[in-house]
Amino acid sequence: MTSITAPRPKVPPLEGELRPGARPSRRQWLTRAAFGRNPIGMIFGAPYALFIALLFAYPLSLAVWISFHSYFFAAPGVSVPRPFVGWANYTAVLTDPAVRQSFVNIGIFLVINVPLTVMLSLLLATALNAAIPFRTFFRTSYYVPYVTASVATIGVFLFILSPSGIFNHVLGPLAPVPSWLVNQNWAMPSVAIYVTWKGLGFFILLYLAALQNVPDELYEAAKVDGASWWHRLRAVTIPGVRQVTTLVSLLAIITGANLFTEPYLLTAGGGPDGKSASPVWLIYESGIEQNHPDFASALGVLLVILVLLISAGVWLLQRRQA
Amino acid sequence: MKSRIVVAAAVPLILGLLAACGGGASGVSTSSANDAQGPITIWYSNNAQEVAWGEQMVASWNKLHPSEKVSGQQIPAAASSEEVIGAAITAGSEPCLIYNTAPAAVPTFEQQGGLVSLSSFPGGAAYIESRTGPGASVYKSPDGQYYQMPWKSNPVMIFYNKKIFAKAGISTTNPPLSTYTEFLATAKKLVSSKAAQYAIYPDPSSDFFQSWYDFYPMYAAETGGTELVENGKSTFNSTAGDAVAAFWQQLYAENLAGKESYTNDPFASGAAAMAIVGPWAIDSYQGKVDWGVVPVPTTAGSHGDQVPTFSDAKNIAMYASCKNRGTAWDFLKYSTSTAEDGKLLSMTGQMPMRQGIQQLYAPYFKANPAYTEFAAEAAHVIEVPNVPNSIQDWQVFRDAWSKSVIFGQQSPDAALTGAATAINKLVAATTP
């Protein structure tokens, strides 16, 4: 097969640009090395770069620095020794049973939350994408919990999951004892189910957007071939929204790893007995309440690394499947 | 491209190092600031009665001292006052005086370099000691200086709902709550008669300070006034500590005390027949609960109003960013004068930490006899230990308590032994 390429029109170089074949001067080379071929692009990108540098890169760099020193928050102008302590803070974090428990808790949370989020949001998005009555009402209804303050929705869940709440009334003798939020085995699953419900609206929205891009012809062809609803879901819908599934999985993992409000409010500070404590809760407890930001920073850095590794694993897995 | 990556990577790193190494704004020189006069800002608690007291006190000062104007405001809202104050110290944005400083947080604020020694003012220590009496010494820091002014206490006692007690057929004038045996029998009767869902409902959450409202008052009573840590060692891994733990464990095991967070005040709402709090809570019971109050129980039986309990004190501290410390010190003395202490008592029902309050404010106690018990108890309160890592110590204790006593995942004996060892290590690590 041959390809025909139209000849490129000759465009004269712009002012300041090098002519083809010309050697750049040292100044031109330095300018290009620092700002690229289009310096104007750097100006457009600068506000966001600054935002990233100040609110992400700087705190992260500072956290890494703090994690290798003996550090506590001091008043401005107060000179305090902050000696380098090597890996001591990391050793303290990794040998702390509360930290290990919090990572186990997050593992339980992710195992429940991520698949549940992906499955429910895809199923509900598929249903909401179909021509059903009151479609707009349902779409709004699913989104309401996402935009409602966590404090308010947690208040509702505290009632629902209390010993005399509706769940226990419905379950009767099957209700767990002690009740959900103070039960060693059910506290974290309860938190995971609450978070799934709370975030579902957002993930449904992502899937709805992706479903708009799946060509109708594929469904029609599948129908002609006699594919059932289930087969169409497996053979057309799921592959068609794979990229969004990756995104939803990654966002759910990141949300889960950053869990704080729920153990703080729903299970009264990670109870019972730390069974719903999260690493971020421990960061708050040690860094803010107890003024040990060195320990908290080491834990934070480890959490960042872990989230990056899990996210990379998910991304690679789904890319390989694609 | 490579050089751009290097630049991009270096910028945040340099920023981080600069922030880490930089000292921020310069501090205030002690020698000159202690004499400086001028406008100051203060924070006070955000409960309605204290706000009213604070506003009238600031207004009366400003009328007398127009050139040294004081601006008062409620402490910013957060999970706890300690968090707000700690963050303000770090940012250098704290006011001159805070009328809501928890003694447990003072060692941390001191370590941050956020507090001004009140002993550094001429006659500072003498003023504190003459007002509070010998009890002031527990608020001295290990360096012998006062970084907090003992201000007001809220002796923790047992409140009971007379209506619920009457419904359960229990005396409302002399309820059997003196010994552990009596208390447990009363608690069982309250629940089994369905007069209340729970007998008592202290907050079961794992916040470090929650042990001040279940374990600590009873431990103080049981031991005759021993603090959690004394002479660099924890004290609770003892017969008295075990007895208090066993008492609460039984209440939780028999569902006489609630294990879950309650969305309202369970005592005010009638879900619990008793509460273990100080007089600051009385206002929230107005019009809802006809209450009575008794001292916390002990194994042998509590003896009237001489039973030691936890003070639940809130103190006044001067903060390092304060420039006009001369005015701040004068204002601190003005706000803790006999007249202002009297107003504090009458407007809030909280006990000024002043010697002889029952005699000094006799008309108030005659008009409000229910508060006499608190005034008598105020002379027998104990405080949280003034040791570095205080908050961490309390968190270790709370975690052990939560695991064993509330949720029964470990024997209280083993949990308290483990907590005692951990706290001893923490205290030893910060002892010079």
pLDDT of A198 higher than 90: yes
User: Is the CB of B259 less than 8 angstroms away from the CB of A269?
Assistant: no
Cβ distance of B403 and A273 shorter than 8 Å: yes
pLDDT in tens, A301-313: 999 999 999 888 8
Average pLDDT of span A70-94:
94
Give me the mean pLDDT over the A179-204 stretch. 92
Rounded to an integer, what distance in angstroms lies between the CA atom of residue B57 and that of residue A205? Answer: 55
**Averaged pLDDT for residues B402-415:** 92
Quick one: pLDDT band at residue B151, thresholds 50, 70, 90?
A: very high
Count other C-beta atoms under 10 Å from residue B39's C-beta.
15
B42: helix, coil or strand?
Answer: strand
> What average pLDDT score do residues A46-75 get?
94
Place of tokens 């039984």: B250
Scan residues 109-138 of A and list those with Cβ closer than 8 Å to B. Answer: none
Task: Give the list of residues 6+ apart from residue B37 with CB closer than 8 angstroms, or none.
Answer: B67, B68, B324, B326, B327
CB-based contact A96:A302 (threshold 8 Å) = no
From CA A109, how far away is CA B248, in angstroms rounded?
32
Residue of B nearest to A265 (CA): B261
State the best of B407, B411, B421, B425 to mutate against chain A, taking most chain A CBs within 10 Å.
Answer: B407
Helix (H, G, I), strand (E, B) or coil at B150: strand
Q: Report the run of H or E that residue B326 belongs to, with start and end.
A: helix B325-335
Distance between A148 CA and the closest CA of chain B, angstroms: 18
Peptide bond into A178 cis (omega under 30): yes
Give the pLDDT band (50/70/90) at residue A137: confident
B80 interaction partners in chain A (CB closer than 8 Å): 289
Q: Which of B260, B321, B391 sits opposite A162 (nearest CB)?
A: B260
How distant is the Cα of B162 from the closest Cα of chain A, in angstroms?
Answer: 25
The two three-digit tokens of residue B413, written as one number: 């004996």
Contact B257, B200 (CB under 8 A): yes
CB pair distance less than 8 Å for B20 and A65: yes
- In A, minimum Cα distance to B203 occurs at A268
| Residue B45 token pair | 């608690």
Q: How confident is the model at residue B13 (pLDDT cuts 50, 70, 90)?
A: very low
Q: Burial-class residue B321 by CB neighbours within 10 Å (0-12, 13-18, 19+).
A: buried
CA–CA separation, B151 and B280 (whole Å): 14
Determine whether the interchain pair B3/A269 forms a contact, defined as Cβ–Cβ distance below 8 Å: no
Task: Name the average pLDDT for chain A.
Answer: 87
Which of B397, B357, B72, B51 shows the shortest CA–CA distance to B229? B397
Arithmetic mean of pLDDT, A8-22: 57
The top-scoring range by mean pLDDT among A241-250, B160-169, B405-414 is B160-169
Q: Parallel, antiparallel, or unpaired: how do β-strands B351-352 and B149-153 relate?
A: antiparallel
Least confident of A173-182, A195-204, B388-397: A173-182
**How many CA atoms does the CB half-sphere of A77 hold within 13 Å?**
13
Give SS3 for B271: coil
Confidence of residue B60 (pLDDT cuts 50, 70, 90): very high
Chain B environment of A182 (Cβ under 8 Å): 204, 259-260, 407
How far apart are the C-alpha atoms of B256 and B48, rounded to whole Å? 32
- The pLDDT value recorded for residue A44 is 87
Interface contact A77-B23, CB threshold 8 A: yes
Q: How many CB pairs under 8 A join A and B?
A: 150
Contact check, Cβ <8 Å, B12/A163? no
3-state secondary structure of A284: helix
Q: Which of A278-292, B16-30, B391-405 has the lowest mean pLDDT?
A: B16-30
Residue range B257-287, pLDDT digits in tens: 998 877 788 999 999 999 999 998 888 898 8
Report CB contact under 8 Å: A270, B389: no
Give the Cα separation of A302 and B232 in Å (integer).
Answer: 34
Q: From the CA of A7, how many Å to the nearest CA of chain B?
A: 30
Q: What is the tens place of the pLDDT at every residue in B106-146? A: 999 999 999 999 999 999 999 999 999 988 999 999 899 99
Query: Is the predicted pLDDT of residue B305 greater than 70, yes or no?
Result: no
Contacts of A60 in chain B (CB under 8 A): 12, 16
pLDDT exceeds 50 at position A134: yes
Find the helix or strand (DSSP H, E) in which B377 lies. helix B372-378
State the pLDDT at residue A294.
Answer: 96
Contact B98, B46 (CB under 8 A): no
Domains of chain A in sequence order: 88-321 (1.10.3720.10)
Structure tokens at B222: 């049981």
Name the more confident of A252 and B2.
A252
Out of A74-88, A263-277, B52-66, B413-427, least confident range: A263-277
CB proximity under 8 Å: A 7-46 to B: 33-34, 36
| Residue B251 near residue B204 (C-beta atoms within 8 A) | no
In this complex, do B12 and A61 lie within 8 Å of one another by their Cβ atoms? yes
- CB burial of B217-252 (b: ≥16 within 10 Å; e: otherwise) equals bbbbbbbeebbbbeeeebbbbbebbbbbbbbbbbbb
Tens digits of residue pLDDT in B215-265: 999 999 999 999 999 998 999 999 999 999 999 999 999 999 998 877 788
To which H or E segment does residue B310 belong? Answer: strand B309-310
Q: How many whole angstroms separate alpha carbon B199 and alpha carbon B276? A: 11
Residue A238 contacts residue A122 (beta carbons within 8 Å): yes
pLDDT value for A208? 92
Cα(A303)–Cα(A106) distance, rounded to whole angstroms?
A: 11
What is the predicted ipTM?
0.79
pLDDT of residue A14: 53
Residue A36 with chain B: CB contacts under 8 Å? 4
Contacts of A74 in chain B (CB under 8 A): 89-90, 111-114
In this complex, is the C-beta atom of A88 within 8 Å of any C-beta atom belonging to chain B?
no
**pLDDT for the residue B431:** 64
Q: What is the mean pLDDT of residues B44-65?
A: 95
**What is residue A141's predicted lDDT score, i.e. its pLDDT?**
87
User: What is the chain B residue with the closest CA to A152?
Assistant: B263
Q: B279 CA to chain A: closest CA distance, Å? A: 25
Higher pLDDT, A9 or A51: A51
DSSP state of B210: G
Q: For residue B23, name the pLDDT band (cuts at 50, 70, 90).
A: very low
Which range is least confidently modeled, A6-15, A225-234, B134-143, B398-407?
A6-15
B28 contact residues in A (CB cutoff 8 A): 77
Query: Could you identify the residue written with the tokens 């703080």?
Result: A264
Closest CA to A296 of A308, A309, A286, A311: A286
Q: How many helices (H) and strands (E) does chain B have?
A: 19, 14
CA–CA gap between residue B93 and residue B96 (Å, rounded): 10
Residue B11 has pLDDT above 50, yes or no: no
pLDDT of residue B26: 41
Query: Which of A26, A52, A61, A160 best probes binding to B when mutated, by most B CB atoms within 10 angstroms?
Result: A61
- Give the closest residue to B267 by CA, choosing from B276, B280, B279, B256: B276
User: b/e string for A99-135 if b means 16 or more Cβ within 10 A?
Assistant: bebbbebbebbbebbbebbbebbbebbbebbeeeeee
Instruction: Locate the chain A residue with the closest alpha carbon to B28.
Output: A77
Q: What DSSP string runs through B89-124?
A: HHHT---SEEEEE-GGGHHHHHHTT-B--GGGSTTH
Map residue B315 onto helix, strand or coil.
strand
Query: Structure tokens of A158?
Result: 């505290």
Q: Is residue B177 within 8 Å of residue B294, measured between CB atoms?
A: yes
In chain A, residues 41-80 whose CB comes closer than 8 Å to chain B:
49, 53-54, 57-58, 60-62, 64-66, 69, 72-80
pLDDT of residue B380: 87
Contacting A residues, span 212-231, partner chain B, CB-CB under 8 Å: none
């690229």: which residue's tokens? A36
CA atoms within 13 A on the CB side of A300: 24
Running DSSP on this structure, what letter comes out for residue B75?
Answer: P
Q: What percent of chain B has pLDDT over 70?
A: 91
Residue A1 reports pLDDT greater than 50: no
Residue B387 has a pLDDT of: 87
Domains of chain B: 36-147+314-352 (3.40.190.10), 157-311+386-428 (3.40.190.10)
Of B147, B143, B158, residue with least CA distance to B114: B147
Which residues 245-284 of A have a C-beta within 8 angstroms of B?
Answer: 267-274
pLDDT of residue B373: 87
What residues of B are in contact with residue A32 (Cβ under 8 Å)? none
Q: For A117-126, how does the pLDDT look when each residue is reduced to its tens digit (9 = 90+)? A: 999 999 999 9
How far does the CA of residue B16 sit from the closest CA of chain A (Å)? Answer: 5
CA–CA gap between residue B83 and residue A288 (Å, rounded): 7
Q: Average the pLDDT over A166-186 and give the result.
A: 88
CA distance B14 to chain A (A): 9
Length of chain B: 432
CA atoms of A287 and A306, how far apart (whole Å): 20
Alpha-carbon gap: B194 to the closest alpha carbon of chain A (Å): 15
